[in-house]
Structure 1
Amino acid sequence: MVSPSISFNQFLEKEKLKSNDSNFTDWFRHVRIFLAGGNLQYVLDAPLGAPPAETESDEVKNVYQTRKIRYSQVQCAILCSLEADLQKRFEHHDPYELVNELKAIFETHAVVECYEASKQFFSCMMEEGSSVSEHMLAMSGHAKKLSDLGIVIPNKLGINRVLQSLPPSYKNFVMNYNMQNMNKELPELFSMLKSAEVEIKKENQVLMVNKTTSFKKQGKPNNKDNFKKGGKKVVAPPEKPKAGPKPDTVCYYCKEKGHWKRNCSKYLADLKSGLIKKKGTAE
């Protein structure tokens, strides 16, 4: 029995495969989805093959005829999804040969695309103070890109990569997560990070208030020793200490060195005992 016709509308609405191989990965994903929707994945597993011999039974001939119609339908759908120059090149290829040759042609681009996607996933870092929701959305996008390329990130590896990408303010969160040996799925981790983000913002606000209060308690600096010069504040230079007697200074009273007369202990003692009087003092 011949299979009913397959609707190509949604598939044909997708972006056509470009000859510069810039969208092969997305295009091939659309092909796989289309074939899965019609249970036609087997078309890419092997070519149609030669028709059965005349001596074969009618049942075998009917099975082959059904397969031939389905291969033809898939071939038409794939050819319509190619740009004109690619259509001309593969017009007479069956879908199995067509897709495998395209994969061989665009293999290098797929490898490069896979490398870039994995690089973005493993180098993605959240900036301090930014939104954890936006960060998780970015990381999920990189993981999905890898998945579309056939690379599935295991849950535990994905969790570790997310924890490694967090800024220093989430250090305690990461430590507690690892110490408690949690085994969460990514959606659960995202929910936990949203709660942690709220608490971290509260802590930062308290720190800012404490810093402001501490600054006010210190008061304004003392400007008595400052003066203005040309509109700018200049700190007054410190006073120079007064010079004392030099080691070779000779006292005029006791004739010894190292001090002046006014500091002479003999002079001050004689003055106190009344043996001498200061000049200009009446006797």
Structure 2
Amino acid sequence: MASQVPISASLHTHTSFVSMFNGHNYTEWCEQIQFHLGVLELDLALHVDKPAAITDTSSEGEISVHTAWERSNRLSLMLMRMTIASNIKSTLPPTEKAKDFIKLVGERSQTADKSLAGTLMATLTTIKFDGSRSMYEHVMEMTNIAARLKSLEMNVDDNFLVQFVLNSLPPEYGPFQMNYNTMKDKWNVNELHSMLVQEETRLKNQGTHSVHLITNQGAGKKVGRKNKKGKQGPLKVNESSVQIHKKDLSHLKCRFCVKPGHFQKDCSKRKAWFERKGIQYDPAHKRN
């Protein structure tokens, strides 16, 4: 018994490193169980059937193997039961052999895996990039979903995954998609990932996001280019940004700097004039 105390303590420690089986992670859980039992040299019962019962005629070798198997089986069952969620563990029938128990858990997980696979596939084909996080994170999530499907024996071809990523892009990435479709050579997921991150940076630098446009307008900057007639040209922005900036400001004229596009109270030159004179700035102040 004294020699088993360190093993029992070590078994408890190893339990904390095994992922809790929740019905959807059988492959990960099974690999960790086999690894830790192997490290503890307690995996005999997972690979060898139960030896014949000990009799008066049994040899010392047979007795030794039987004893080792019984100990391996008992502690293996203990470790597996300790790492299964309570709501699942209560539905499993009593099992005396570790080899049968791990097989039973695998069979129970197959039903849950089919349901999970359907959910993951639906997510992969309908997910959209909405700008709430970076492009890097968006593509990584889709790649991880494809990897989870593969673990459920549903391989997603690389070409299909590339198309799913392209389908998830918003309208402002339309030119990027058109250029890709006209290319003779196609990219794999990693290449597409890298190019999309670059495209995201390019679009941000161009100020296509409506947040950037609102900030620029508040600072008194002109939006868009003007043609020869002095009319404001079309904005290279997405649809939501266009809707925000529908109002044409070209008819407005500042009474201070005599330039169109803003009111006197919003004139940056007027504010600077007040500061040079040492007068506290008052937007409502009228020029003499």
TM-score over 0.5 for the pair: yes
Alignment of 1:1-283 (within 5 A): 5=7, 7-12=11-16, 23-26=22-25, 29-39=28-38, 48-51=49-52, 59=61, 62-63=64-65, 65-82=67-84, 83=86, 86=89, 90-127=93-130, 131-178=134-181, 179-186=183-190, 188-205=191-208, 211=224, 213=226, 217-218=230-231, 219-220=250-251
Q: Provide the rounded CA distance (Å) in 2 between the counterparts of 1:11 and 1:156.
A: 40
Task: Please tell me the root mean square deviation across aligned C-alpha atoms, in Å.
Answer: 4.3
- State the Cα distance separating 1:103 from its structure 2 match: 3.7
Q: Provide the rounded CA distance (Å) in 2 between the counterparts of 1:176 and 1:58.
A: 76
The 1:111–1:41 alpha-carbon spacing in structure 2 relative to 1, beyond 3 Å, is farther
TM-score with structure 1 setting the length:
0.55
TM-score with structure 2 setting the length:
0.55
The 1:67–1:160 alpha-carbon spacing in structure 2 relative to 1, beyond 3 Å, is farther
- State the Cα distance separating 1:42 from its structure 2 match: 8.0
- State the Cα distance separating 1:77 from its structure 2 match: 0.4
Instruction: Give the SS at the match of 1:93.
Output: coil
Q: Provide the rounded CA distance (Å) in 2 between the counterparts of 1:100 and 1:50.
A: 19
On the 8 A contact 1:35/1:41 being kept in 2, the answer is: yes
Instruction: Give the SS at the match of 1:217.
Output: coil
Instruction: Give the SS at the match of 1:25.
Output: coil
Deviations 1:17-45 (CA, angstroms, capped at 9, x unpaired) = 5xxxxx2123662232231344478855x
On the 8 A contact 2:129/2:135 being kept in 1, the answer is: yes
The 1:210–1:84 alpha-carbon spacing in structure 2 relative to 1, beyond 3 Å, is closer
The 1:30–1:102 alpha-carbon spacing in structure 2 relative to 1, beyond 3 Å, is closer
- State the Cα distance separating 1:129 from its structure 2 match: 8.8
Q: Provide the rounded CA distance (Å) in 1 between the counterparts of 2:44 and 2:186.
A: 42
Q: Provide the rounded CA distance (Å) in 2 between the counterparts of 1:12 and 1:50.
A: 31
Higher relative contact order (CA 8 A, sep 6+): 1
Instruction: Give the SS at the match of 2:141.
Output: helix
The structure number with the bigger radius of gyration is: 1
On the 8 A contact 1:43/1:95 being kept in 2, the answer is: yes
The 1:30–1:78 alpha-carbon spacing in structure 2 relative to 1, beyond 3 Å, is same
The 1:27–1:10 alpha-carbon spacing in structure 2 relative to 1, beyond 3 Å, is farther
Deviations 1:172-204 (CA, angstroms, capped at 9, x unpaired) = 333444514144452x43222111112233445
Q: Provide the rounded CA distance (Å) in 2 between the counterparts of 1:176 and 1:41.
A: 56
Q: Provide the rounded CA distance (Å) in 1 between the counterparts of 2:87 and 2:174.
A: 55
Instruction: Give the SS at the match of 1:24.
Output: coil
On the 8 A contact 2:120/2:145 being kept in 1, the answer is: yes
Point out the more displaced range, 116-125 or 30-39.
30-39
Structure 2 residue ranges without an equivalent (≥5) = 214-221, 232-249, 253-288
Q: Provide the rounded CA distance (Å) in 1 between the counterparts of 2:115 and 2:171.
A: 32
The 1:67–1:210 alpha-carbon spacing in structure 2 relative to 1, beyond 3 Å, is same
